């Protein structure tokens, strides 16, 4: 069974370190849940969340080219919709048009004020 990002797997905590917990997965491979991936809340000590021998469900975040398996116990967040592409030429054209209109209005206002003061 090959492991790919996004998969949910069951496993057992085999080791707890300051930086995270190692999990033996159901296929015999093992991976690491970094301390920042143990919970959505801040985790000061890994032992506050998991303990050796505990059964857990994890999500595969990444399998590195070296074969390391990075895991998470956080719920998956839905992907944000992609932003529409910005048409830079159109944005610059609109900016220049608005700028020209404002400049014209300012010049007109200045001429009017000068006539009134004379």
- Tokens describing residue 103: 């400049």
Question: How many domains, the chain?
Answer: 2
- The answer on 60 and 18 residing in a single domain is yes
| Radius of gyration, CA atoms only, the chain | 29
- Residue pointed to by tokens 């959505």: 40
Question: For the segment 26-43, what is each residue's pLDDT rounded down to a tens digit?
Answer: 888 999 999 999 999 999
Q: Considering the domain boundaries, does residue 79 fall inside one?
A: no
- The answer on 68 and 89 residing in a single domain is no
Question: For the segment 81-118, what is each residue's pLDDT rounded down to a tens digit?
Answer: 777 777 888 889 999 999 999 999 998 888 887 777 76
Q: Which domain holds residue 51?
A: 8-72
- Tokens describing residue 100: 């020209």
Q: Considering the domain boundaries, does residue 14 fall inside one?
A: yes
- The answer on 106 and 57 residing in a single domain is no
- Tokens describing residue 2: 């090959």
Which residues 6+ apart lie within 8 Å of 82 measured at CB?
A: none
* Verdict on whether the full-model pTM lies above 0.75: no
Question: Could you tell me the CATH number of the domain that includes residue 48?
Answer: 2.40.50.140
Examine the fold and report which residue of 50, 72, 94 is the final residue of a domain before the chain moves on.
72
């Amino acid at each position: 069974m090959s492991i790919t990002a996004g998969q949910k797997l069951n496993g057992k905590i085999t080791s707890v370190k300051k930086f995270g917990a190692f999990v033996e997965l159901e296929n015999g491979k093992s991976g690491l849940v970094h301390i920042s991936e143990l919970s959505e809340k801040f985790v000061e000590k890994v032992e506050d969340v998991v303990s050796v021998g505990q059964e857990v469900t994890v999500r595969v975040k990444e399998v590195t080219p070296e074969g390391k398996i990075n895991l998470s116990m956080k719920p998956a967040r839905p992907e944000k919709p992609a932003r529409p592409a910005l048409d830079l030429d159109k944005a610059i054209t609109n900016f220049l048009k608005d700028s020209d209109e404002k400049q014209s209005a300012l010049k007109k206002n200045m001429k009017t004020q000068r006539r009134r003061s004379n």
